[in-house]
């Protein structure tokens, strides 16, 4: 929802174009990204007294009276960040105000946005997925679990060691909290879970859907703005043909489960999704053990029975048949899910700009 950094930071903005925050003790180094429609810009700056780098997030209000939805956005983000203490969620530091504008300061992480269309090998994408699931486990296992609600490439930073950082908690809410009318379906088209679009209550599985779509972007090298091109007229995911032929069918099946339309068919939470992902090889046809583990994790009787039967064939050297069956079973489940949602959801997509 926040930053439009798909083209990255291009060149240097003339120094006099930067806001002057010297009276507040900060000097802007460069612009990191902006969302013109929402009136939000993010800058990299340093503290004049210490030279420490910080991130300054600007909330601009064009009218004399601050837009109430904008105020709620930064108030919500500050409240959420003050509750959190995780090494891969940039900490809230401070804030200051000017006429018509509000500025929030956060910890700086030396990592780049996934919105910059960076290229990663499949094994690296798995590592990024693991890193993000670890963050979601932290959020979901709190006394008051938190749902981020806007997971997408632009809101994820990744450093050189493939550590992922989750930013932009402007839409985040506690699980079970009733959504206000202004925040209903306020996420990013294509990344919002079906239950959020239709106003149903959100669960831990809702963020898993958004994470799954993000991983599809990385694997197919599709920009967030073009994600609709991977969905057909019946709102079925059609990204498999854009994947490298080396991608393991078990990893594909795991990914299809992440983006299942019905949340009951997704993994229950991030911990379950992570446990299922770790033993899966991203490249190759996989092993019998991987097939069996994927079946157990799916908790679908028909799927388990089919894989168990085909597992006998694998012992006789039929690994490829099992691999294909894993994907087919998952696609059958997806087709069933689509039956109840596809018509309304497709109409929803048509109305998006």
Q: Are 59 and 35 in contact (CB under 8 A)?
A: no
Q: Which residues pair with 98 in a beta bridge?
A: 101
Residue carrying the six token digits 């679908």: 300
What is the distance, to the nearest Å, from the Cα of residue 231 to the centroid of all Cα atoms in its chain? 18
- Tell me how far apart the alpha carbons of residues 326 and 280 are, in angstroms, rounded to a whole number: 13
Cα three-residue angle 137-142-151, rounded to 5 degrees: 45
> What pLDDT, on a 0 to 100 scale, did the predictor assign at position 37?
65
Location of each CATH 3.30.200.20 domain in the chain: 15-107
Are 13 and 31 in contact, with CB atoms under 8 Å apart?
A: yes
- Can you tell me the distance from the alpha carbon of 247 to that of 323, in angstroms, rounded to the nearest whole number? 11
pTM of the model: 0.76
Burial class of residue 257, CB neighbours in 10 A (0-12, 13-18, 19+):
buried
Residues lower than pLDDT 70 in the chain: 1-16, 36-38, 61-73, 178-187, 286-353
Structural domain 15-107, CATH architecture:
2-Layer Sandwich (3.30)
Q: Considering the chain, tell me which residue range(s) the CATH 1.10.510.10 domain(s) occupy.
A: 112-350
Residue 128 has a pLDDT of 98
Query: 112-350, what's its fold?
Result: Transferase(Phosphotransferase); domain 1 (1.10.510)
Q: Are 249 and 323 in contact (CB under 8 A)?
A: yes
Residues whose CB is less than 8 angstroms from the CB of residue 177 and which lie 6 or more positions away in sequence, other chains included: none
Q: Which residue spans within 48-151 are E strands per DSSP?
A: 53-60, 92-98, 101-107, 112-113, 146-147
Distance CA(195)–CA(177), nearest Å, equals 15
Q: Which residues of 30-60 are buried (b: 16+ CB within 10 A; e: fewer)?
A: ebbbbeeebbbbbbebbbeeeeeebbbbbbb
- Reference 325, options 338, 342, 312; nearest CA is 312
């Amino acid at each position: 929802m926040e930053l439009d950094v798909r083209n990255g930071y291009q060149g240097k903005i003339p120094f006099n174009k930067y806001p002057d925050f010297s009276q507040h003790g900060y000097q802007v180094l460069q612009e990191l990204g902006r969302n013109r429609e929402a009136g939000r810009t993010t800058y990299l700056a340093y503290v004049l007294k210490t030279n420490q780098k910080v991130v300054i997030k600007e909330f601009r209000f064009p009218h004399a009276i601050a837009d109430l939805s904008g105020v709620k956005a930064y108030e919500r983000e500050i409240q959420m960040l003050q509750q959190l203490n995780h090494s891969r969620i940039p900490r809230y530091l401070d804030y200051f105000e000017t006429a018509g504008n509000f500025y929030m300061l956060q910890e700086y992480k030396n990592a780049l946005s996934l919105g910059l269309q960076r290229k990663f090998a499949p094994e690296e994408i798995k590592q990024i997925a693991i890193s993000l699931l670890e963050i979601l486990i932290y959020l979901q296992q709190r006394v008051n679990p938190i749902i981020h609600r806007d997971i997408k490439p632009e809101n994820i930073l990744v450093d050189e060691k493939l550590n992922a950082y989750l930013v932009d908690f402007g839409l985040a809410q506690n699980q079970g909290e009733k959504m206000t009318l202004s925040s209903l379906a306020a996420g990013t088209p294509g990344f919002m879970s079906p239950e959020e679009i239709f106003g149903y209550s959100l669960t831990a599985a809702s963020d898993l859907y958004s994470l799954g779509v993000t991983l599809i972007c990385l694997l197919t090298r599709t920009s967030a703005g073009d994600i609709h091109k991977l969905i057909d007229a019946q709102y079925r995911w059609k990204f498999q043909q854009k994947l490298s032929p080396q991608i393991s069918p078990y990893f594909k099946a795991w990914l299809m489960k992440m983006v299942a339309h019905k949340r009951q068919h997704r993994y229950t939470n991030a911990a379950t999704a992570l446990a299922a992902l770790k033993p899966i090889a991203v490249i190759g046809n996989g092993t019998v053990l991987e097939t069996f583990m994927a079946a157990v994790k799916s908790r679908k009787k028909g799927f388990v029975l089919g894989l168990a039967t085909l597992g006998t064939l694998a012992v006789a050297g039929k690994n490829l048949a099992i691999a294909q069956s894993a994907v087919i079973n998952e696609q059958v489940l997806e087709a069933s899910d689509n039956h109840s949602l596809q018509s309304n959801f497709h109409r929803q997509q048509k109305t998006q700009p």
